[in-house]
């Protein structure tokens, strides 16, 4: 299972439980379309940190990093290839 | 009306500090200070730009996002006698146009530029915002379209005097400002602080969700006074547990407002800020703060905390469903009259509905003007006042007033939706969470994502249900045929929820 598939699977389970992961396009705007609210973003960040074993620093809290499955996937890839600068 | 009534004292008080302590920090923003001199210089520059384009006394909509520069813009409006209209930065564009039109606002200030706004369809009523207005705040109307709420300079000045005294805000006092600039909470955290020479530590909305960051601000700036919605304290307490650091010794006053304080959050806050006095404040945008209750740390924590006693000059009373004033214990709509209250909405019909004036009031001849809060409250035999809930379909989610009937109406506007029920359920972290159950047409393939998207395009942020459950069976109905909102919670899937401590800190 790719990272993107894992992310999709989590988002669907937590926020859109009537969907199947295949019904969630990877470029779907999760924030603009109200799929995830502001508290949901916190949960999502906590899950990303735990699941991918990385620390989301203050400078990474930009919602753009969590706007879509593709954006989160890219963020995780960037974070895993760079030294952790957490904060 | 005198010059002071037209321009108020608050702005002048801020600018006087620029002469007295020019190099002292007035504002903090992401670690950088703005001194009182810098604030005054930026204010002077904005005043010059406004004077070129805006006629005296005209309302100016301040559309920039929260920042020190935006604070200077609002200060410039106050100092020059332009009522400052502060819409929520997250309003859908149609709602923004509606609120500026309603207020008769023809000028907007954004990115250091004055722009003329087109007249709205209503043309903007003359006198919608009366002379002597300092701020024009907005509140969610029953339709979800915000309503302008003009606050007079005299009320703002009276409030800042009370708040400085009540919370010991003096020269140099660091005060945290979590709320957006369009919230009435800023009259305390930003404007009282600046008028008394303190340091307002502004939380950048871009990082407002980062609980470790919020905790860091409290520690770094040795914040002495903090006011926020209960959710803020829940997040910060969870972050403090994860971090394992010591308690916040600097906090002298922690104020919570805007929502019911969950029992666990209050207990966590009491532990996190062991020397702070804890206050529950009740207020509406229209009246500003009205009631205050200080938690007695030596007794079991009350749940929910009482509304408390009226602020100086404030009067409160309850009116039962028959329209009679309650002389003693009982339950009824809370009516308040405050020295800080609005002069009334731009729409006279709405004003007449929500503001009432006593026909005769004692020998002084002064007639008290009351605001009908729409909140149901009760007093017990000891005179302790408690909030019961909303009279209509207004609920509060994280400090945002949401009308559940309007959310249902928008949901029913989706072609596949047959029935819709919206309510709130208790939540450990949020206090209350907005949930919706919708019955879809049997042939429909619509998902919760489609429905959330439908809502997001038509409702203010914060009004989109966090949990949205599509069903195919009929919704439960009450004896009078209305959707039985209380039965909806039972239709939610029993999804495991993470404990509160895990939120924002990793499970």
**Domains and their CATH numbers in chain A:** 3-81 (1.10.1200.10)
Last residue of a domain, one of B355, B390, B425: B390
Provide block-wise average pLDDT over 10 residues at a time, chain B (507 residues).
70 97 98 98 98 96 96 98 90 84 94 87 71 91 75 97 98 96 95 98 85 94 94 86 91 90 86 97 94 93 86 94 86 94 92 85 70 90 82 76 82 86 82 88 89 91 89 77 77 56 35
Residue to mutate among A17, A27, A39, A40, with most B CBs inside 10 A, is: A39
Residue B336 lies in a domain: yes
Angle between helices A3-15 and A69-81 (to 10 degrees): 130
Please count the structural domains in chain B. Answer: 2
Same domain? B335 vs B382: yes
Buried b (16+ CB within 10 A) or exposed e, B317-338: bbbeeeeeebeeeeebbbbbbb
Same domain? B403 vs B381: no
* Close Cβ partners of B433 (under 8 Å, ≥ 6 residues apart): B397, B424, B425, B426, B427, B466, B467
Last residue of a domain, one of B390, B416, B451: B390
Let me know if B286 is exposed, middle or buried by CB neighbors in 10 A (0-12, 13-18, 19+): buried
Which of B167, B227, B157, B229 has its CA nearest to residue B198? B167
**CATH number reported for the structural domain that contains residue B406 in this entry:** 3.30.300.30
Nearest CA in chain A to B450: A33
Q: Locate tokens 């600097």: which residue?
A: B250
Here the tokens at position B406 are: 């309007």
CA distance B79 to B14: 10
Q: pLDDT under 70 in chain A at which residues?
A: 83-87
Here the tokens at position B226 are: 């903090």
CA distance B184 to A55: 35
Q: Do B502 and A46 touch (CB under 8 A)?
A: yes
What is the predicted pLDDT for the residue at A83?
A: 60
Same domain? B411 vs B483: yes
What is the predicted pLDDT for the residue at B296?
A: 93
* Residue ranges making up the domain that contains B329: 315-390
B426, β-bridge pairs: B432
CA distance B282 to B291: 5
In a 13 Å sphere around the CA of B71, the CA atoms on its Cβ side amount to 32
Q: Do A32 and B456 touch (CB under 8 A)?
A: yes
Same domain? B476 vs B382: no
What is the predicted pLDDT for the residue at B144?
A: 61
DSSP-assigned states of every residue in B192-259: IHHHTT-EEEEPPGGGTT-HHHHHHHHHHTT--EEEE-HHHHHHHHHHHHHHT-----S-SEEEEESS
Going across the sheet that includes B431-440, the strands are B417-427, B431-440, B467-471
Residue B417 lies in a domain: yes
For the CA atoms of B469, B470, B473, B479, what is the dihedral angle to 10 degrees? 50
User: For B503, which of A35, A37, A42 is closest by C-beta distance?
Assistant: A42
What is the predicted pLDDT for the residue at B19?
A: 96
Same domain? B357 vs B402: no
What is the predicted pLDDT for the residue at B450?
A: 93
| Contact map slice: A 49-68 vs B, CB within 8 A | 49-50, 58, 61-63
User: Pairing between strand B225-228 and B277-284?
Assistant: unpaired
Residue B95 lies in a domain: no
Q: Do B449 and A35 touch (CB under 8 A)?
A: yes
* Close Cβ partners of A59 (under 8 Å, ≥ 6 residues apart): A85, A87
Residue B382 lies in a domain: yes
* Close Cβ partners of B206 (under 8 Å, ≥ 6 residues apart): A61, A62, A63
Residue B340 and residue B288 in contact, taking contact as beta carbons nearer than 8 Å: yes
Residue B192 lies in a domain: no
SS (H, E, C) A24-57: CCCCCCCCCCCCCCHHHHHHHHHHHHHHCCCCCC
Q: Locate tokens 């009350």: which residue?
A: B302
Count CB neighbours of B86 within 10 A: 22
Q: Do A34 and B453 touch (CB under 8 A)?
A: yes
Which of B357, B353, B358, B359 has its CA nearest to residue B373? B353
| Contact map slice: B 423-462 vs A, CB within 8 A | 429-430, 447-449, 452-453, 455-456, 462
Same domain? B352 vs B443: no
CA distance A32 to A52: 25
What is the predicted pLDDT for the residue at B507?
A: 32
Same domain? B361 vs B349: yes
Q: Do B493 and A17 touch (CB under 8 A)?
A: yes
Secondary structure class of B428 (helix, strand, coil): coil
Residue B276 lies in a domain: no
Alpha-carbon distance B470 to nearest alpha carbon in chain A (angstroms)? 8
Same domain? B353 vs B452: no
Same domain? B467 vs B385: no
What is the predicted pLDDT for the residue at B506?
A: 34
In this structure, chain A runs to a length of 87
Q: Do A28 and B207 touch (CB under 8 A)?
A: no
Residue B399 lies in a domain: yes
CA distance B243 to B272: 12
Same domain? B404 vs B468: yes
Let me know if B386 is exposed, middle or buried by CB neighbors in 10 A (0-12, 13-18, 19+): middle
Last residue of a domain, one of B366, B390, B414: B390
ipTM attached to this prediction: 0.76
What is the predicted pLDDT for the residue at B318?
A: 95
Q: Do A28 and B449 touch (CB under 8 A)?
A: yes
Is the Cβ of A84 closer than 8 Å to some Cβ of chain B? no
Residue B18 lies in a domain: no
**CATH number reported for the structural domain that contains residue B351 in this entry:** 2.30.38.10
Nearest CA in chain B to A49: B506
User: Pairing between strand B277-284 and B60-62?
Assistant: unpaired
Same domain? B378 vs B327: yes
Same domain? B376 vs B411: no
- Furthest C-alpha separation in chain A: 38
Global pTM reads 0.72
Nearest CA in chain A to B216: A87
Angle between helices B68-80 and B10-20 (to 10 degrees): 120
Residue to mutate among B449, B469, B472, with most A CBs inside 10 A, is: B449
User: For A42, which of B206, B209, B449 is closest by C-beta distance?
Assistant: B209
The radius of gyration of chain B from alpha carbons, rounded to an integer in Å, stands at 23
């Amino acid at each position: 299972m790719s990272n993107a598939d894992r992310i999709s699977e989590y988002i669907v389970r937590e926020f859109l439980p009537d969907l199947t992961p295949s019904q969630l396009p990877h470029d779907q705007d999760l924030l603009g379309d109200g799929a995830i609210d502001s508290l949901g973003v916190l949960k999502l960040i906590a899950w990303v940190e735990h699941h991918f074993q990385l620390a989301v620093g203050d400078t990474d809290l930009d919602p753009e990093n969590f706007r879509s499955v593709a954006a989160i996937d890219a963020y995780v890839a960037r974070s895993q290839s760079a030294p952790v600068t957490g904060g | 009306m005198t010059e002071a009534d037209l321009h108020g004292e608050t702005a002048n008080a801020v600018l006087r500090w620029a002469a007295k302590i020019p190099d002292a920090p007035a504002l903090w923003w992401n670690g950088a200070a703005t001194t009182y001199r810098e604030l005054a210089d930026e204010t002077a520059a904005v005043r010059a730009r406004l004077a070129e384009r805006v006629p005296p006394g005209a309302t100016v909509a301040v559309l920039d996002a929260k920042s020190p520069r935006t604070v200077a813009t609002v200060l410039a409006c106050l100092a020059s006698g332009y009522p400052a209209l502060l819409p929520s930065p997250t309003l859908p564009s149609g709602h923004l146009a509606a609120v500026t039109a309603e207020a008769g606002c023809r000028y907007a200030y954004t990115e250091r530029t004055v722009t003329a706004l087109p007249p709205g369809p209503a043309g903007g009523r003359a006198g919608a915002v009366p002379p002597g207005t300092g701020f024009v705040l907005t509140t969610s109307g029953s339709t979800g379209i915000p309503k302008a709420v003009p606050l007079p300079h005299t009320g703002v000045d009276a409030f800042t005097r009370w708040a400085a005294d009540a919370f010991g805000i003096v020269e140099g006092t660091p005060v945290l400002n979590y709320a957006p600039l369009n919230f009435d909470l800023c009259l305390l955290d930003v404007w009282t602080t600046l008028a008394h020479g303190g340091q307002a530590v502004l939380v950048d909305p871009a990082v407002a969700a980062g609980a470790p960051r919020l905790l860091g601000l409290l520690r770094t700036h040795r914040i002495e006074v903090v006011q926020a919605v209960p959710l803020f304290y829940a997040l910060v307490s969870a972050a403090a547990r994860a971090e394992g650091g010591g308690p916040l010794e600097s906090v002298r006053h922690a104020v919570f407002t805007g929502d019911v304080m969950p029992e666990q959050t209050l207990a966590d806050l009491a532990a996190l800020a062991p020397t702070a006095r804890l206050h529950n404040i009740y207020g509406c945008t229209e009246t500003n703060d009205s009631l205050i209750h200080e938690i007695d740390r030596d007794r079991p924590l009350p749940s929910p905390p009482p509304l408390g006693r009226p602020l100086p000059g404030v009067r409160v009373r309850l009116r039962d469903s028959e329209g009679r004033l309650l002389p003693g214990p009982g339950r009824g709509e809370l009516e308040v009259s405050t020295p800080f209250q609005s002069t009334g909405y731009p729409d006279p019909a709405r004003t007449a509905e929500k503001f009432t004036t006593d026909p005769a009031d004692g020998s002084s001849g002064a007639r008290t003007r009351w605001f009908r809060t729409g909140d149901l409250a009760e007093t017990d035999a000891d005179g302790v006042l408690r909030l019961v809930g909303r009279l209509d379909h207004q609920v509060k989610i994280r400090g945002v007033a949401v009308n559940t009937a309007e959310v249902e109406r928008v949901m029913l506007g989706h072609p596949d939706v047959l029935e819709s029920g919206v309510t709130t359920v208790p939540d450990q972290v949020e206090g209350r969470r907005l949930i919706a159950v919708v019955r879809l047409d049997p042939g429909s393939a619509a998902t919760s994502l489609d429905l959330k998207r439908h809502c997001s395009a038509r409702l203010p942020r914060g009004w989109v249900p966090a949990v949205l459950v599509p069903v195919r069976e009929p919704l439960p109905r009450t004896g009078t045929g209305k959707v039985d909102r209380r039965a909806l919670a039972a239709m939610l899937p029993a999804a495991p929820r993470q404990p509160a401590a895990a939120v924002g800190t990793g499970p």
